[in-house]
Chain A
Amino acid sequence: MTPDRDLVEAVARDGDEVAFRELYRRHTPRLYPLVLRMVGGAEMDAEDVVQEAWVRAASGMKRFRGESSFSTWLCAIGLNAARDHLRRRGRWGNTEDVTEVEIPVPPAAHGQRLDLERVIALLPAGCRAVLVLHDIEGYTHEEIARQLGIAVGTSKSQLFAARRAARALLTGTKEMSHARPR
């Protein structure tokens, strides 16, 4: 299997379409669900963000030094693209301000157990991003803080709020509904 580094060089140097497609097929399956969860489960939005991520990646491949894996580099671009997308839609908000928001439990969720993916999609964008990165993707708070441009403490607060809201939604109670989607 051709190393990612060689494929990146082929795309950056020659605009090699075959090399690009190979990169796309290797790394999009990892990028897409991350972006999909970040944007709250909207598939069309997620595809737009994936496209934007690949366009940014293609434009920056000449600067890719291989210090991290291509997958990590691409996901970082995807996260930035997702955050920009949410900001443009007015859904990113003030990520520092998590204690003043509430999560209204949707009518269909009263007394019912929700699917975890649906619960994650219902969380406010900031909380959701931290939960996805920490509990699903395995990022540390330091990595999340660096990636999202927030303080480490904020990342921890967001995770705390997200987990409690998720538990409330999953059990069908309004136990911890102090965060609200924007």
Chain B
Amino acid sequence: MHDRDDELTAAERERFESLPREMMPSRLLEERIVSELHARGYLGERQHVFRPAGRRSWNPFPLAAAAAAGIALFASGLAVGQWMGARHTAETMLAMQRQDSANAAAAIQRTGSAYLSVLGTLAQASASADPKEVARARVAAQNVMHEVADEMVRLAPDDPVSAHILQGLDKANRVQAASAPAPDNKKSLVWN
């Protein structure tokens, strides 16, 4: 109808084109509309998510979930680590105890064998007429008894028998040392 003589000039067209085609209303409008739609039953269960319109807002849920997951992972790792450590420690202690028991049994076995060997030597020496040999045999037997008692006290500190034997031997040694010079071969006993 009026198209022929009423076309926009280039400047007018540019002016119209420069007008904004997109604008966001106040962000409260979104909440107002959502509330209205809930009230009218067009929307289901209300979800309390408020994000500023026009841009993505920071949502704390993923970060909180990640933090919770991190804490849970750390706590579980700590617990497992403690459990592993405790179990390892217990196993180590048990192994040490087993090792101590084995060592102790071996030591007792060795001590017993040495004691029997010394007793045999002492028996042979008692038959000898040489007083020096008898004296050496006696000192050897005494040292054996001392070592055995010492080992027994180490294994069972509360064992009264071992403690008394050790105290008796120490006392005898002190009396002997006070009355006579110590024999040179006191520490010369060799356990074979």
Q: Do A and B bind each other?
A: yes
A positions within 8 Å CB-CB of B: 11, 14-18, 20-21, 24-25, 28-30, 32-33, 36, 43, 46-47, 50-51, 54-55, 58-59, 116-117, 135-137, 153, 156-157, 159-160, 163-164, 167
Using CB atoms, name the residue of chain A closest to B17: A136
**Cα distance A138–B173 when bound, in Å?**
122
Return A24 CB to nearest CB of chain B, in Å: 6
> B residues within 8 A CB of A55?
33, 36-37, 40, 42
**Cα distance A3–B45 when bound, in Å?**
23
Q: B40–A51 contact, CB under 8 A?
A: no
> B residues within 8 A CB of A163?
6, 8
B62 CB-CB contact with A under 8 Å: no
Q: B1–A20 contact, CB under 8 A?
A: no
> A residues within 8 A CB of B41?
15
Using CB atoms, name the residue of chain B closest to A30: B22
Q: How large is the interface on B (under 10, 10 to 19, 20 to 34, 35 or more residues)?
A: 35 or more
Select the residue from A16, A135, A167 with max chain B CB neighbours within 10 A. Answer: A135
B positions within 8 Å CB-CB of A: 1-3, 6, 8, 12, 15-16, 19-26, 29-30, 32-34, 36-38, 40-47, 49, 51, 53-54
> A residues within 8 A CB of B25?
28, 32, 43, 46-47, 50
**Cα distance A30–B54 when bound, in Å?**
12
Q: B44–A116 contact, CB under 8 A?
A: no
Q: B19–A116 contact, CB under 8 A?
A: yes
